[in-house]
A and B are shown apart, each in its own frame.
Chain A
C-alpha cells in the first residue's frame, strides 16, 4: 500500500539536492533581510531558516496588530456611512 508519493517520502528521507537548493533559494528570495544582502551568494541554510522563523514571527505580529486596529475601526463604522457602503458593495 504505497503510492508513489509515500514511497518517495518514506524511503528517501530527502528530496533531490536540486529540489532542495531550489526551495531554499526560493525561501531566500522571500526573505527581505537576505534579499538586500547581495554581495554574499553563500547564505548558510541555517541562516535562511533563522531568517524564515523571524519573518514568520514578524508576520504573525503584524496580523495581531492589524486585527487589533481592525477591531477598533470596524467598531466605529456606522451602518450608513460611506465605508459600510463600500464594503457592502464589495461583498455583493
Chain B
C-alpha cells in the first residue's frame, strides 16, 4: 500500500487576504450597528470582534478546504442558529475517533485545541495543526497592525 509521498501543502495566503477579510467583517459589524446599541455591553462587543476575527480567518485561509476552517465556520453558524450545509467532498471517517484512543495525552490535548480536531486522523491532525498555526499567527499580525494603526496618534 504505497501511499503517494507527495509533499503536504500547508501554505497560507498573504497577509492582506486576512486583513481584507477581517476589515470587511468589522465593517459589517459596524453596519449592523453592533457597536452602538445601548444594550450592548463591552463584553458583547469584544465577543463579536473575536468571532469576526476567527470567522474571517477561516474564510481567508481556505473556507471549506480545510477541516479546521469548516469546523470553525460550522460552529460559528450554529451559534447564529443557521443551518450550514457543506458539500461532502470526502467521506468523513469519524469512526476513527475510537481507534485514536491510543494517541498519547499530548495529541489528545491538541485535538481539543484545534477546531474539528476530534474527528481527525492523527496524520491529518498534524497537517491541519500546521496550517492552523500559520493562519492564527497571520491573523494575530493583522490585528496587531490594526491596533497599532489605530492607536498611533
Contact = CB atoms under 8 A, between A and B. Distances in A.
A83 interface: yes
Contacts of A74: 26, 30, 35, 49, 150
B27 A91 contact: yes
B136 A24 contact: no
A23 B7 CA distance: 9
B123 A64 contact: no
Given A46-B104, A53-B110, A73-B150, A9 B93 contact: yes
B104 A49 contact: yes
Contacts of B113: 53, 56-57, 60
A67 B151 contact: no
By secondary structure, the B interface counts as: helix
Nearest to A46: B106
A68 interface: yes
A27 interface: yes
B99 A63 contact: no
Interface residues of B, number: 55
A18 B49 CA distance: 41
Interface in B7-48: 7-8, 10, 19-20, 23-24, 26-27, 30, 35, 42, 45-46
Among B35, B53, B140, chain A packs the most CB atoms within 10 A around the CB of: B140
Interface of A is mostly: helix
Interface stretch (B58-66, B74-82, B127-135): B127-135
Contact of B107 (A14, A20, A49, A83): A49
A87 B53 contact: no
Contacts of B124: 9
12 contacts: A5-B90, A9-B124, A10-B96, A13-B96, A13-B121, A19-B8, A20-B123, A23-B130, A49-B104, A57-B113, A63-B54, A63-B143
A49 B109 contact: yes
A15 B3 contact: yes
